[in-house]
């Protein structure tokens, strides 16, 4: 494993020295924001006057620069437009790049938000961003894509701004991102410094209130770079290897992974945090390791250690997330669902049964969470059913999409629950009806 990483690093540094000389102008397609809007699809917003295209030409390397370091690994020079057009760099301060439904499918070899120490934002409200390749592609294709960086380099790297403490942000409220890695941030060392590890840190932040990210791996924090993520609403992150029998990449969520300098690991020390709430879900299939190819109990322990360290939190830090391993299918989930009474990171009929069974119970707040007390106020009542109803169907399928198709009609749930009731049935029916009408009021 170490030698694998070392060779990656060596190759990378060789490439970097060729390709990204310090102080030289950045290669690639830079966001210049010259259009009348901030849409990805506007040709005038790009330095090459072409919207990044055709990252799928070779998902390993994506662009076909005959003078570039990766040539001749991508021997065709005519299948992806102008040279390097899809090596996307957002490295102006203060810009916002938008991908929405009107953009459709955006594709790129790499998307470097906050490149070279810029403070800027990528917003995704709809559409799709494919970086390298869809991780759900047929594994026999043996495809490897590239990365979404939320912060890349260090201040001044690659010709970027030199302001200290820059921050790159990705805000996602909808849409879909398919990428190899998500790095928040990808901090580099500045080899011009006497001690390269003194490089000024970057800050990266991912704020997801919706949408889906499919990635093979994701890391928060690198070297001194600080990384944070906030997942809320219906946000979904699926982490899954797309290469059969290749354990070198895939299925890994990490915090402060080691960097390597001259082949030796340099521990990372940035501030890292990942908070999850509402219906947001992280599904992790597999593990980035030559030793472990699918989640096992040690993975639960590893994620729990990040909970214990306060790096992995729920409900804006007020709670701890649920870490659930379904070892029948090798899937580890992280969630903070309020109506997941049996703590398996879904809200389904099992949880309805728990609420039905617990209905009417009272006790100490916090003690009835497994009996249907979704709002944690020490009773199991109609308000808890409302929570259940809102969450119903979340996290149920392997794909973690909204899955059951339809949320059960309140009336049918009431009938189902009350068919089993004898004493007290009338009160339950009234409660359920009143919460139905109150929900209608809220959701209008």
Instruction: Annotate 307-350 with DSSP letters as a single string.
Output: HHTTSEEETTTTB--EEEEETTTTEEEEE--TT-TTSSS--SHH
Q: Which of 65, 205, 299, 373 binds Ca ion (CB under 5 A)?
A: 373
Structure tokens at 213: 């990210």
- CA 151, CA 156: separation in Å to the nearest integer? 12
Query: What is the C-alpha end-to-end distance of the chain, expressed in Å?
Result: 55
| Identity of the residue, 186 or 381, whose beta carbon is nearer to Ca ion in the bound complex | 381
Q: Kindly indicate which of the ranges 37-45, 212-220, 230-238, 370-378 contains the residues binding Ca ion, using the contact rule CB under 5 A.
A: 370-378
Q: Which of 383, 418, 421, 429 binds Ca ion (CB under 5 A)?
A: 383
**Contact (CB, 8 A) for 223 and 198:** no
Q: Where are the alpha helices (DSSP H) in 20-163?
A: none
- CA 153, CA 417: separation in Å to the nearest integer? 57
Q: Kindly indicate which of the ranges 21-29, 303-311, 351-359, 386-394 contains the residues binding Ca ion, using the contact rule CB under 5 A.
A: 351-359
CB contact set of 14 (below 8 Å; sequence gap of 6+): 69
| Identity of the residue, 46 or 285, whose beta carbon is nearer to Ca ion in the bound complex | 285
Q: Does 37 bind Ca ion (CB under 5 A)?
A: no
CA 407 to chain centre: 26
Number of residues near Ca ion (by CB under 5 A): 14
Q: Does 344 bind Ca ion (CB under 5 A)?
A: yes
Instruction: Name residues contacting Ca ion, limited to 222-251 (CB under 5 A).
Output: none
**Alpha-carbon distance values, 33 to 30, 95, 173 (Å):** 9, 7, 22
Backbone angles phi, psi at 115, to 5 degrees: -65, 140
Q: Does 379 bind Ca ion (CB under 5 A)?
A: yes
Q: Does 348 bind Ca ion (CB under 5 A)?
A: yes
| Identity of the residue, 24 or 362, whose beta carbon is nearer to Ca ion in the bound complex | 362
Least separation in angstroms between CB 378 and Ca ion: 7
Least separation in angstroms between CB 366 and Ca ion: 11
Least separation in angstroms between CB 349 and Ca ion: 8
| Identity of the residue, 100 or 340, whose beta carbon is nearer to Ca ion in the bound complex | 340
Q: Which of 100, 205, 381, 387 binds Ca ion (CB under 5 A)?
A: 381
Q: Binding residues for Ca ion, per CB under 5 A?
A: 340, 342, 344, 346, 348, 350-351, 373, 375, 377, 379, 381, 383-384
């Amino acid at each position: 494993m170490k030698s694998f990483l070392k060779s990656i690093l060596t190759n990378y540094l060789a490439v970097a020295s060729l390709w990204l000389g310090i102080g030289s102008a950045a290669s690639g397609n830079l966001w210049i924001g010259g259009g009348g809007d901030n849409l990805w699809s506007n040709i005038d917003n790009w330095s090459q006057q072409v919207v990044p295209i055709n990252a799928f030409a070779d998902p390993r390397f994506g662009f076909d620069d005959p003078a570039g370091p990766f040539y001749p690994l991508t021997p065709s020079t005519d299948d992806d437009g102008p040279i390097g057009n899809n090596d996307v760099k957002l490295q102006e301060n203060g810009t916002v790049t938008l991908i929405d439904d009107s953009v459709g499918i955006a594709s790129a070899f790499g998307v470097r938000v906050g490149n070279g120490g810029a403070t800027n934002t990528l917003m995704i409200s709809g559409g799709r961003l494919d970086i390298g390749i869809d991780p759900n592609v047929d594994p026999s294709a043996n495809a490897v894509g590239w990365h979404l960086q939320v912060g890349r380099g260090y201040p001044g790297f690659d010709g970027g701004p030199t302001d200290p403490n820059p921050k790159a942000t990705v805000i996602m409220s909808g849409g879909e991102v398919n990428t190899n890695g998500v790095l928040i941030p990808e901090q580099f060392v500045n080899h011009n410094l006497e001690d390269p590890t003194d490089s000024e840190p970057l800050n990266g932040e991912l704020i997801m209130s919706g949408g889906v990210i499919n990635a093979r791996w994701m890391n928060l924090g690198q070297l001194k770079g600080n990384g944070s993520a906030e997942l809320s609403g219906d946000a979904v992150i699926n982490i899954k290897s797309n290469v059969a029998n290749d354990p070198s990449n895939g299925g890994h969520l990490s915090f402060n992974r080691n960097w390597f300098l001259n082949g030796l690991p340099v521990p990372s020390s940035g501030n890292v945090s990942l908070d999850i709430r509402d219906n947001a879900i992280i599904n992790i299939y597999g593990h980035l390791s030559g030793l472990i190819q699918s989640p096992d109990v040690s993975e639960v322990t590893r994620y729990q250690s990040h909970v214990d360290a306060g790096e992995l939190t729920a409900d804006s830090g007020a709670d701890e997330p649920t870490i659930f391993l379904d070892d029948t299918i090798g899937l580890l989930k992280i969630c903070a669902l309020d109506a997941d009474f049996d703590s398996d990171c879904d809200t389904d009929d099992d949880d309805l049964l728990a609420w039905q069974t617990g209905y009417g119970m009272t006790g100490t707040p916090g003690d009835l969470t497994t009996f249907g007390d979704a709002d944690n106020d020490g009773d199991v009542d109609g308000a808890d059913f409302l929570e259940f109803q809102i969450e119903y169907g979340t996290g149920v399928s392997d794909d973690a999409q909204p899955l059951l198709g339809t949320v059960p009609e309140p009336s049918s749930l009431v009938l189902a629950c009350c068919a089993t009731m004898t004493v007290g049935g009338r009160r339950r029916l009234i409660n359920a009806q009143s919460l139905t009408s109150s929900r209608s009021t809220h959701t209008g």
